[in-house]
Amino acid sequence: MDPQTTSQTTIAAVSAASSQAAGAAVQAVSGASQAVVHTGFALFLDKVYYFIMVPFVYISIIAMFIAIIWKIVSILSTPAPAFTLKTFPAKKHPMLAALGDTFGMPSIRKRKPLFWFFLMWFHVGILFLILGHFDLFPNIHIMPEASRDMVGAGFVGVSVTVPAFYFLFRRFKGQEKQISVPADYLLLLLLLFTFLLGDMISWGNSWTANGFVMTKADFRNYFGILSSYSFADPRTVLHGSHYHFIVLHVLLAELFMIILPFSKIVHTFFSLPLNILRRK
């Protein structure tokens, strides 16, 4: 047997053993939690948790898309500017230049390289973050099926968290402080706490003595409930005390989605059209 095969066999054996052990533990916990019948405030909390984890997910996604579409339509229904707003020298390929402005942010790179570094890090991180969440849907497989980690094994979460701290701290000094409004801080805090809770779920929950409390497979089961519209209680697939953090993470993400179309995050959609205005 070659070393690689030996290694794979060992991993398979360990994985099977831990899986069995984990399965037994989950069944025990699950059985225990099923055995508990909540009443009073605990019952109320269960209902609130359920609302956050299932119906409100759909509500916030639908609200976000409706508001974005409404916003785009309301902008498109207004008259286009009557004259060019471009700056010179004119670019040979204005569309390519606008794409470069939007995704490369050369004006920032030229003048504030550190800010640009964090912005690029953040935006690339966001892309991977979206991919990481898509990977949780049952029919999408970006990471290997057997992997216990989400995409990036926790690094993606850190990749958005660190720049978010930078974005927040830079607003506490100089002209950045003077030009900031409360919404800027609150939005960054919302993002930051969403990311921190995400870090805790995707990465931090592996820090226990026994390894992962929850694995990607558990999150995939939850996403399976959402994508199948079964309206099952996520508590049946997400066990343990980390559930509270997941609920909070999902709630903050929902709030973010709801306010996105009404916040400056609309630059996600409007950055390119604006740069086209500058170039064409």
Partner 1 sequence: MLDEPTTNYLKKLFETKLNRSMKLYLDTCARCGLCVEACHVYASMPETKYTPVGRAEVIRKLFKRYFKLQGKIAPWLGETIPFDDIGMDKAYEAAFSCTGCRRCVTFCPFGIDTQQVMNIAKLLLIGVEKQPQILAMLSDMSVAKGETYIETSDSYIEALGNLEPEVEELAPTPEGRKAIPINVQDADILYVGLSGKHSIVPAAAIMNAAKENWTLSYFEAVNFAAWLGDSQKQSKIAQRIVDEATRLNVKEVVVVECGTATRIMKFMSGKHSFKVLSIVELIARYIKDGRISVDPNKFQGKLTYHDPCQLARNGGVIEEPRYIIGKLTNNFVELTPAREDNWCCGGGGGFVSLGEYDFRMKSGKVKADQVKAAKADVICTACENCHTQLTELNEHYNLGMKVESLTNLVAHALI
Work out which of 138, 183, 211, 231 binds partner 1, going by CB under 8 A.
183
Q: What is the 3-state secondary structure (H, E, C) of 75-102?
A: HHCCCCCCCCCCCCCCCCCHHHHHHHHH
- State yes or no: residue 101 binds partner 1 (CB under 8 A): yes
Work out which of 25, 100, 120, 176 binds partner 1, going by CB under 8 A.
176
Report 58-77 residues binding partner 1 (CB under 8 A).
71, 74-76
CB atoms within 10 A of CB 160: 23
With tokens 């790179």, the residue in question is 109
Dihedral sign computed on CA atoms, order 215, 217, 220, 224: negative
Work out which of 25, 63, 64, 115 binds partner 1, going by CB under 8 A.
115
Distance separating alpha carbons of residues 94 and 96, to the nearest angstrom = 5
Part in contact with partner 1 (CB under 8 A); list of ranges 11-19, 26-34, 101-109, 143-151: 101-109
Shortest Cβ distance from residue 106 to partner 1 (Å)?
A: 9
Contact 101, 279 (CB under 8 A): yes
- State yes or no: residue 40 binds partner 1 (CB under 8 A): no
Angle, alpha carbons 82-83-86 (nearest 5°): 140
**In this complex, which beta carbon is closest to partner 1, that of residue 26 or of residue 64?**
64
Q: Which residues bind partner 1 (CB under 8 A)?
A: 71, 74-76, 78-85, 87-90, 101, 105, 107-108, 111-112, 115, 174-176, 178-184, 186, 262, 264, 266-267, 270-271, 273-275, 277-279
